[in-house]
Amino acid sequence: MSLAAARPYWTMPTKLLHGVLALGVTFQLFVSLIMQVPRPGRTPAAMGLLWFHMHEWIGLATVAVIAVHWIYSASFAADAGFAHLFPWSRAGRAAVRRDIRTLLAGRLPEGTGAGIAGLAHGFGLLVVSAMAISGLMLFLTFGHGDAVAHKAAFLHSAVANFAWAYWYGHVGMALVHAARRDGVVRGMFGPRRLR
């Protein structure tokens, strides 16, 4: 199979959702390093507090984008549907096994279909969804000092480790694709659909 034939296309909704989600998640991760969470008895610096509030509001917008992504995926979009993100069907599992064999042979799988690439994207969507849900719970309960807020804060921090790992892996694979010049990055971020 030629590389050109293995390349998928992405519809404009998929490209927009991916781009906005990538920006939102990247902003959230990096701003979390410089924001200062207000705590009893501690007054945060003005800029630290501003970054915290930006984290809250950009986080709420990101929650909305994630919700739209789930709805779009449930619509069985060929390039972002559940069959792509969660390749649990017989054909999906076969594609994952094929991609694993290719990786074990020291090569990258061709294309970004419903094999390892789809499975990785599905895992990423689950991770950012867990971040979004715990962040939303934290936003709604913050300052009340109840057990729900503490559990949400713990979950939000714990899942952040997976989000960082996924972010590094995803950016790393994008750089590998860019170095290979296989059209994957251009296809996702270019103005037209890649066919």
Which CATH number fits the domain that encloses residue 58? 1.20.950.20
Residue 172: domain span: 3-36+43-186
Asked whether the beta carbons of 116 and 162 are under 8 A apart, the reply is no
Q: State the Cα–Cα distance between residues 82 and 98, nearest whole angstrom.
A: 19
| Interval 171-183: pLDDT, tens | 998 888 778 777 7
Which pLDDT tens digit goes with each residue over 145-193?
Answer: 678 888 888 999 999 999 999 999 999 988 887 787 777 777 677 765 4
Work out the angle at residue 72's Cα, subtended by the Cα atoms of residues 192 and 113, and round it to the nearest 5 degrees: 60
pLDDT at position 6 over 50: no
Whether 149 is in a domain gets the answer yes
Q: What is the pTM of this model?
A: 0.84
Asked whether residue 193 is assigned to any structural domain, the reply reads: no
What is d(CA 78, CA 113) in angstroms, rounded to the nearest whole number?
A: 10
Determine the Cα–Cα distance for residues 181 and 185; give it in Å rounded to an integer: 8
**Do the domain assignments include residue 192?**
no
Residue 176 lies in a domain: yes
- Position 194 in a domain: no
Instruction: Count the domains in the chain.
Output: 1
